[in-house]
Amino acid sequence: MLTFEEALEQLLLAAHPVRDEENVPLKAALGRILAKALVSPLNVPPLDNSAMDGYAVRCVDLSIVGTALPISQRIPAGCIGQPLEPGTAARIFTGAPVPIGADAVVMQERCTLTNDHLIVVDVLPKLGENIRRAGEDIRTGDEVLSKGTLLTPQAVGLAASVGAAQVTVVRRLKVGLLTTGDELSEPGEPLPPGSIYNSNRALLRAMLERLGCEVNDMGRVPDTLEATRQALRQAALQHDLVLTTGGVSVGEEDHVKPAVEAEGELNLWKIAIKPGKPLAFGKVGQADFVGLPGNPVSAFVTFLVLVRPFIRQRQGATDITPRALRMISGSDWLKPDKRREFLRARIDEEGRVVLYPHQGSGVLTSTVRSDGLIDNPPNQVIRAGDSVRFLPFSELL
């Protein structure tokens, strides 16, 4: 069996980024990957502006506390004021351009407004106080977002701040999703004796869509070798990636592995991780192929730690490695496996990670009632108080 590191390395070596690009409106760009860097055509902010509601002044006019100044103008946000006359103050609001000649803004809470429309400054300002300088955040010509950036909500907001109405993104990765197992019924159907509902189909479709893939759900494949081969051939014709779940083990009804070997090539099978040992990777026609285990937790975990980085690299993303946290365990794990384990755990009120009590590969509730995965090396005992490597689901989903 390959180690986790060896398997991931093979997957990433084969993960050639999609080259096709398209321009999309910024409002439709959430979750896409930038194909070209975004360069700012302007300064942000474009002009010196006030960080507070208050009064724009010249510091030279305020030598002592209690100095009174007449108000010479009023400058709301979006308006350009007149140059500030010496010995006066300008009423100014947050975001409004600072008038020429002013070199500080006194917040209104530090001023007293008299009945004859003078302001008395109660605290002397410092030079530049409460002024946000032009280009303080972004300067003209700055690279705002680099090629390969995932467009998160905050990245979309940043693009909008420099006036980008459209962005150039990588074409969506086309994924054909196949599930196997004659014992599976679809939600909403009657459940015959001996059957279970097909959770993997919904789970994997949702995770693929979360990654911004164009998903073609091709349904469930009958458990025969010929049906499996035909489904793989059809899927490979129109997709970048064919993803299956189930049928990659060594049972008499597991047809995916021999079907891939007959229709293409299998380059990777069996990885020393738990859950998820029987993961397959290869090619069918021109499409990449990944075969996930049939147990729902095994499919979930292997997708997160192996398939997700593969897809992100194929999408052209530059940041594909999830950030792990060093955290303190609140549980004992005294019978570790010889394989590398990914253990479901939640974060308790004291900030420790506590193992979900049932770690079986069919316990899908553990994926909902946990906050992430403890990445545990082979044969590693964990005791409460030990430092562990924790992968939050927020980094993986």
Query: What Cα–Cα distance (Å) separates residue 102 from each residue in 80, 87, 121, 364?
Result: 13, 11, 15, 63
Which has more confidence, 183 or 376? 376
pLDDT exceeds 90 at position 250: no
**251 pLDDT band (50/70/90 cuts)?**
low
**253 pLDDT band (50/70/90 cuts)?**
low
d(CA 20, CA 262): 30
pLDDT number for residue 231? 93
CB neighbours of residue 260 within 10 Å = 27
Q: Which two tokens stand for residue 359?
A: 């770690």
**184 pLDDT band (50/70/90 cuts)?**
confident
The pLDDT of 284-313, averaged and rounded, is 95
Q: Give per-residue pLDDT as tens, 11-55.
A: 999 999 999 999 999 999 999 999 999 999 999 999 999 999 999
CATH topology of domain 49-132: Molybdopterin biosynthesis moeA protein; domain 3 (2.170.190)
pLDDT number for residue 116? 84
Which has more confidence, 83 or 63? 83
The pLDDT of 296-314, averaged and rounded, is 96
**1 pLDDT band (50/70/90 cuts)?**
confident
pLDDT number for residue 276? 87
pLDDT exceeds 90 at position 181: no
Which region among 137-151, 181-195, 319-333, 380-394 has the lowest average model confidence (pLDDT)? 181-195
pLDDT number for residue 105? 98
pLDDT number for residue 252? 53
Which region among 5-14, 76-85, 184-193 has the lowest average model confidence (pLDDT)? 184-193
Q: Give per-residue pLDDT as tens, 115-142.
A: 888 999 999 999 999 999 999 999 999 9
The pLDDT of 367-385, averaged and rounded, is 97
pLDDT exceeds 60 at position 356: yes
The pLDDT of 259-274, averaged and rounded, is 91
d(CA 123, CA 64): 9
Q: How would you classify residue 75: left for phi > 0, otherwise alpha for psi between -120 and 50, otherwise beta?
A: beta
User: Per DSSP, what are the bridge partners of residue 217?
Assistant: 177
pLDDT exceeds 60 at position 375: yes
The pLDDT of 242-264, averaged and rounded, is 80
Which of 336, 341, 337, 344 has the alpha carbon at shortest distance from 274? 341
Match 């081969």 to its residue by tokens: 229
Would you say domain 21-43+150-170 falls under CATH 3.90.105.10? yes
Would you say domain 4-18+171-314 falls under CATH 3.40.980.10? yes
Would you tell me which CATH number, out of the four given (3.40.309.10, 3.40.190.10, 3.30.70.100, 2.40.340.10), belongs to the domain 325-396?
2.40.340.10
In the chain, CATH 2.170.190.11 sits at: 49-132
Q: Give per-residue pLDDT as tens, 310-327.
A: 999 999 999 999 999 999
d(CA 168, CA 23): 4
d(CA 54, CA 307): 54
Which of 34, 16, 29, 318 has the alpha carbon at shortest distance from 169? 34
Q: Give per-residue pLDDT as tens, 200-212.
A: 999 999 999 999 9
**239 pLDDT band (50/70/90 cuts)?**
very high
In the chain, CATH 3.40.980.10 sits at: 4-18+171-314
Arithmetic mean of pLDDT over the chain: 94
